[in-house]
Amino acid sequence: MPVRWADLFLDYLLLERGLAENTLRAYRRDLDDYLSFLTRTGLGLEAGEAVPSYLRDLQARGCAPATRARRLSCLRRFYRFLASEGLVEADPTAAVPSPRRGLKLPQVLTVAEVDRLLSQPRTSTPTGLRDRAMLELLYATGLRVSELVELKVADVNVTQGYVRCLGKGRRERVVPFGSVAARYLRAYLTEVRPRLVGRRSPYLFVNRRGRPLSRQALWKLIKKYARLAGIVKTISPHVLRHSFATHLLENGADLRTVQELLGHADISTTQIYTHVSAAHLREVYARAHPRA
């Protein structure tokens, strides 16, 4: 029965809440782990000790506070759904406090590191020009990786300098980009993409076989170019998104604007970048002030 209820919950998230496929997979993993724990321990779905015992089990397995907090958030949503459908009477998450999480600042690149990274692709080759256009657009817009690889040609207006994308919860937003990204995008669209797309494809960024570039392929490309650029920081496509937001704030952008550009539903998610900017200011102060 609990497994069937989990399926109903995931169908609800997909059909009524419009959550992205990656988010649904994460919910599925979290719920599968919880239901396996209940089977292993013999605890019922509505047992008062079910969720607290599960959180203690996660801690014993070495899961970080952030992971435990995410799992609890998933379970709160799951039980709220079950209660709304009249499938359970008791909600064992109601009296469970969230695990305390330390503030984990996102990894960001300096402007100089971004310049080095973006200059690595060899634009004299078709795939190199594609990669340069892709990296420039990623840094210019702060798109999520899934948003970038799902872009269609029709979503991009190079002349006016903006992209239209669907973010989390299928929320649409329009994000501008500058002249540098526009220049490489225009070159890619006119000189390279027609040669890569052997058959009609609506997707903007494609591989040598004309198929949409995958998230995994983009991740590998960024790792490769970071290595060539001599960047020793742990890097992923999301690091460019973090860098985009941080550099905007450091240069005077207001938090609400950055929230809109990133597609955050809640400004509290965006506020993490104010801590990054404050850390940057402290570093500059420490280097520059004679009595620091």
Instruction: Enumerate the active-site residues.
Output: 144, 168, 238, 241, 264, 273
Q: Give burial (CB, 10 Å; 0-12/13-18/19+) of 212.
A: middle
The residue type of 290 is P
Phi, psi for 157 (deg, rounded to 5): -115, 100
What are the counts of helices (DSSP H) followed by strands (DSSP E) for the chain?
14, 3
Closest-CA residue to 165 (of 181, 180, 146): 146
Contact of 99 with 56, CB cutoff 8 Å:
no
The residue type of 152 is K
Tokens 């490769």 sit on residue? 224
Q: How many CA atoms lie within 13 A of 103 on its CB side?
A: 10
Q: How far apart are the first and last CA of the chain?
A: 63
Q: Residue 250 and residue 108: Cα distance in Å, rounded?
A: 12
CA dihedral 29→31→32→35, nearest 10 degrees, is 160
